[in-house]
Structure 1
Amino acid sequence: MTGDSRLTVYVVRHGERVDHVDETWVRTADAPYDPPLTANGWTQARQAGTLMHTLEASKPPAQEYLMLVSPFLRCAQTAEGLCAGFQAQNSLSATWKVAVEPGISEIMSENYFNSSDQVPTTIISDRQHEIQRGLVCANMAYNGGYDMASEDLPEYPESYQQMLARFAATLDRVAAGLLGKSECGRRVVVVLVTHGAGISAMQWAMARRLGANDVAYCAMLSGTATARTASPEPALTWTMEYPPPPNNRAGHQRPSL
């Protein structure tokens, strides 16, 4: 096989979460560690989906469109809003699928969680079942054949360096898996719906630059991985696309941590 395969990756932070607006919500919540979006968060997600459509409209069609979501409810709801905003434009015939990816979960930092209030691992299977039943992400088909990069939540406590390594490893595995299935010369589009720290981690993974941890709700970045399919073990070359990188630093191979 000769030629290059391309994977376009969008990384999106979830929308506004209810516990950051209503401090009383957590007092009666059955799952205080897993807040949903606010109405404004849904709007932010749809607007980000519209932006994603605008960015995709100038590219050749992809053979696969996939959203991978952190197991947290706010990320699954954001994915649903992204898809709604994307599909509302009606100019691209894209059929989206969705799957849960624990490798892009929230950082298990002591600043966010304590030893007595850890997130149960059942959040992964619970979210999968909700998607399969159409309780969330009802506008997408569940991709039951997706091979998760990580089957478990990160161990608590998780350091910042451990989080960076986790996201980089997840990106590598996702990219290798999707590019390995794509036909020569075709595109695959994947959206990673994650958390604020994940935006910075993925920016490092793609461009060797750490972004700010305090990013806006539904902040987005994107990059393209090119695999040299003529090679027995294709090397991935990443090019940042959105937002445009300063000094046009693009087209490099990312080093390991």
Structure 2
Amino acid sequence: MALEGQFLQNVVVLRHGDRIDHADPSWTSSAARPWDPYLTEGGKMRAFSTGRKLRANLDFPIHRVFTSPFTRCIETTNEVVAALCAINDDGSQVTGDNLEIDPSKLKVSIEYGLCEFLSTEAIKTELLPKDGKFVYEMSKLEEMLPAGTVDSSVEHVYQGMPKWGESKTDVRDRYQGIIKALAEKYPHENLLLVTHAEALVVAISALLENVAVSGVEYCAYLHSRRLSSTSESQPVLNPKEFELCGDSGMHYSPVDTS
């Protein structure tokens, strides 16, 4: 329980939903942007269902959502936010299409630092942009998000996409750094970060020592929490003081270090 002068900050890290190229490998052969697959219809349904699950199970409000610029994450964010902000969700809808929402409940921003692992371990060489540039137009991406929720005034932690050719160490440092930076930038707000599988691997490994992750399902998420001071003169606690409160769709086990 938080005492006077303290705030319980919650951070939820969420993987995107089912991607079209995994459901239909032939999709990449004719796609204009084969490195940037969108969600399947089932992926949209899973994302919307996950948003409902979060709304029902979390004992705190989400104040801000940050999403990777990759299309599958933008579409996942759209569905999850629709579920979180729904005004009259009677359970009959399977996606957030045309669902009335209250956009004042939270704000959404795009953050380059949450993007995919930019390496051949995640994106095959033959699928890369012909000019080698991962180009995203922020205005077009923001149009894909629920109307009234976008906060485009937020300054990005990463001013552009990371450079291609990241190592495992590079991406681990990036994901750890971006989660820490966003938490410290908004210490008095609860955050939802919509990103990619490797970010959840990094996050769970930082929260639990000596675990091996064997799988991260679509729309898997983990929830961590820490005490943060409400005083501007006091520093927020460091990320090591975050504690794991729960997870869903994560598969991991202890590693014997004896």
User: Which TM-score tier does this pair reach, normalised by the shorter chain?
Assistant: 0.7 to 0.9
1:165/1:45 Cα in 2 relative to 1: closer, same or farther (>3 Å)? Answer: same
Q: How does 1:84-95 map to 2 (within 5 A)?
A: 84-88=82-86, 95=105
Note the alpha carbon deviations across 1:130-186, whole angstroms, 9 max, x for none: 244x2x11245211222222122222211112111111111111011101xx3xxxx
* Number of equivalent positions: 228
Tell me, which stretches of 5 or more residues in structure 1 are unaligned? 183-187, 246-257
**Separation of aligned partners in 2, 1:41 and 1:16:** 4
Structure-2 separation of matches of 1:165 and 1:208: 17
Tell me if 1:242 matches 2:242.
Answer: no
TM-score with structure 1 setting the length: 0.79
Q: Which string of whole-angstrom CA distances, capped at 9 and with x for unpartnered residues, describes residues 66-88 of structure 1?
A: 11111100000000111122234
Aligned equivalents of 2:210 and 2:79: distance in 1? Answer: 28
- Counterpart position of 2:10: 8
Give, as a single letter, the amino acid of the residue that structure 1 aligns with 2:245: E
Matched, 1:107 2:117: yes
Residue 158 of structure 1 is matched in structure 2 by 166
1:252 alignment partner in structure 2: none
Partners of 2:82 and 2:47 lie apart in 1 by: 9
Contact between 2:69 and 2:141, CA under 8 Å: does it hold in 1?
no
Question: CA 1:47/1:114 → structure 2, altered by over 3 Å: closer, same or farther?
Answer: closer
Root-mean-square deviation (Å): 2.7
CA contact (8 A) 1:196 1:213 kept: no
Deviations 1:197-240 (A, max 9, x none): 11111223344465526311101111113223456323232121
Structure-2 residue corresponding to 1:249: none
Work out whether residues 14 and 74 of structure 1, in 8 Å CA contact, stay in contact via their aligned partners in 2.
yes
Letter in 1 for 2:222: L
After the TM superposition, which residues 157-236 of structure 1 pair with which residues of structure 2 at under 5 Å, given as runs? Answer: 157-179=165-187, 182=188, 188-208=189-209, 212=213, 214-229=215-230, 232-236=234-238
Q: What amino acid does structure 1 have at the position aligned with 2:244? A: M
Partner of 2:255: none
**Which is further off, 32-41 or 161-170?**
161-170
Question: For residue 228 of structure 2, what is the amino acid of its counterpart?
Answer: A
> In percent, how many aligned pairs have the same letter?
23
The equivalences for 1:34-45 within 5 A come to 34-45=36-47
Cα deviation code 1:101-121 (max 9, x no counterpart): 111111112223356725624
Q: Structure 2, unaligned stretches of length 5 or more?
A: 90-100, 251-258
User: Which amino acid in structure 1 is aligned with residue 64 of structure 2?
Assistant: L
Local SS of the residue matching 2:215: coil
Q: TM (normalized to structure 2)?
A: 0.78
- Structure 2 counterpart SS, 1:111: coil
Cross-structure match for 2:151? 143
